[in-house]
Chain A
Amino acid sequence: MALNKRRFDALIIGAGGAGLNAAIQLANTDARVAVVSKVFPTRSHTVAAQGGVNAALANVLPDNWHWHMFDTVKGSDYLGDQDAIEFMCREAIPTVYELEHNGVPFSRLDDGKIYQRAFGGQSQDFGGAQAARTCAAADRTGHAILHALYQQNVRARTHFFDEYFAIDLIRDDEGAILGALVMEIETGEPLLIEAKATVLATGGCGQVYRTTSNAHINTGDGMAMALRAGIPLMDMEFFQFHPTGIAGRGMLITEGVRGEGGYLVNRDGERFMERYAPNAKDLASRDVVSRAIVTEVKEGRGCGPQADHVLLKVDHLGEEIVSKRLPGIRESGRIFAGVDAAHEPLPVFPTAHYVMGGIPTDPYGRVIVPQGTGEEVVPGLYAAGECACVSVHGANRLGGNSLLDILVFGRAAGLDVIENLQEHKNHRPMNESSVEAAMARLTRWDQKGEGISIRELRDEFRKTMEDHAGVFRTEEIMGEGVEKLKALRDRLPEVRLHDHSKVFNTARVEALELENLFDTGIAIAYSALMRKESRGAHSRPDYPDRDDTNWMKHSLYFREDDRMDYKPVRTKPLTVETFPPKARVY
């Protein structure tokens, strides 16, 4: 049967904040825009971002974009590109006002200006007093943004392909991107979408880990598509973990619990944080608490039948205080762990939260790859949001900068596509061999017979990632992990589907997602093994210090031969002086 085809000026894959903000720029022009999303757009993971968006509006306390830039550079542990960070912090201000005009109901001050709350890592005057920089729409900022942008896109006649799964990018022999092969989940039918420009906005990849706070949809689809198209992933070793997720499930338990007097114990009932951080104890920094928990489990002092977690106690506070001050945590414990925190301790383990790395782009969202001694743009390809790496977060991300990243660079990508379309009025010729390769990825799952189940290999893979590329990173642990992951990857061709039906065959989607998990997870494991220093979220007991002489550079992982390359950090901002690296002390 002939392959169905559609043509658009621009194709956007992913309908979270980045994708929708790129789409709305384009939809307000004459461009024909398609947005492909595997779930209904307002069910994208942006909806889980409840905190807010940083912008130096100075509505509550004095502020300016240059202070915001300083905090972001410092937070990145000097791995962020200072030109991109300056761009983001300057653009934050018009981006927030544009959202306001697009109908996002930001919380207000009495004088009608947008309310701004203070968050950790925000300072006035380059490291001085606390700043208040985060704009929020009550506690549902992510949803408010998604909802407003979706409505605006519908009004502007953006064409939505809801519940379509992107299989692979299509490219010509020169490496230009021509669109993508996608599959309608309801019917299982493939569709070729040709586009003059394609924007990857598929979000993060937390599902590579067994314990993650990410939704099930976060399987690194765009990152893996880029890898398969020969594009490297940048700085994938930098993954934020939160110390207390519900064990085996991943849902976040806020740090506020320990602030209210909650503490961690091991199987012997020992308050083990006293050994790791005698002063700060349970309120030590995230990486210290995360590593302490994993050390307790590794050394056999974990709790539960599998001895695979520790316990977070709040029951000593008494039922009245738990109900009054920690009602959400009590509900979470009951719903997700079957535990009433007012009477029993909660099982917890570090949970994977946010990936700083991704598809390398410039500040206009254009995907860039090494070429000779420099870099070049991949014609027709853009990336924005968590799947991309501009890089503004470097080795660690500040609170309130993730929504900002997706909005600023989604918008920038959309605006650059508009310019690009002025110069490229015609579609490039289709490349049938690339289409066939993408189709083969889909039809591979038609193979019948006995084999390994998706769940079996996925569970083993995610556990291996957690044990060998998680918070505890030594040469020995990670080296062993890479070998195990490669051995698991060799078993991928043995995986078989038992259900070969076409209609809403979610197992087929999960199979395609499994391949994406492998590609992105192995990128993380390799990049982490190779970086022999501790910086930001990448913490190695065998190389405990930051090494600016040898490692102030970006990692690039290529799928072909699992090859690594590196490129320098861009330390020169656009208009201001460089912030030179300093010890990162808060």
Chain B
Amino acid sequence: MLARVANNLFWMGRYIERSEHTARYLNVNYFSSLDAPNEVSQSRQFVLRSMLNMVGDPVSNPNTHLDEKEVLHNISLNQNNYYSIIASVKHARENANSARDLISTELYEAINKSYHFVLNYPSDFLTEKGLYDFTVNINEMMAVLKTKIKGTLLQDEIYAIIMMGVTLERAIQIIRIINAKYDDALEAKDEHSAVTNSFEWITLLKCAESYDMMRRHYKKTPNNINTLEFLILNPNCPRSVMNSLNELYHHIQLLDQNKYHNKDSTSFLVGKIRAEYEFKVIEEISDQLKDFVENILNQLISISTKMENEYFNY
């Protein structure tokens, strides 16, 4: 497989996953805030700030007044914004275009269809009454794409590279969501509520589509400890960082079939990071969440860089 095409497929996977998380974050935060228990969490400005924080474009000045329509348009349909959903879907399609001779017709046609859906979605409608419809549709379309990836591709190196992109991006997005919601929890606390059992932890779980499963697992109200434990360390939660690391390790094995790992290889690095988290306890993380966030993001980025050097850069 061509190195450039491998790179494109890796990024196609990343953009598909990214679109899904951005769409869900918009949906969950907006609609949870409508009837949130405390004033801060209910404030529209607070929600819009949270959205911008999550996509990586935070507003530092607390006095800046944000325009709802503008923020929603920027994050979903503004083509000139690198973090918008439309930009991600467009990039996913462009990357697929350059590899269309390698992927299945059904997968390509589904990507093409998603692209035309986003491209033709009227911005006015979205910002006035279409937010729910748009974000739910994006989530469903991305789910279809991932089904086509799993169900129609040969499970060889091409598949492994796409899945590396999908799972790496998932881990990164989950961390970003945790980070944004942690900031929200700090800001929303008042004399009646502590950070440890904020309403924002529930929103966080919903943003990762893990609320129902978390309740089933712990049978307790979400607080900072059990939420973070579930989303970071629980290997059975399909959205957790640990689960993503396991998946990454599985897929890199498909690419790197050496019996003994070269210590400079991606495969070795993924294994090492995975081993570190496999035996971590949540107390090591929850005390210094910010440090953890920074550290794990750097580790995930180092995997991406390693892959680039090893596979995409001849």
Chain A complexes with chain B: no
Chain B contact residues, CB within 8 Å of chain A: none
Residues of A within 8 A of B (CB): none
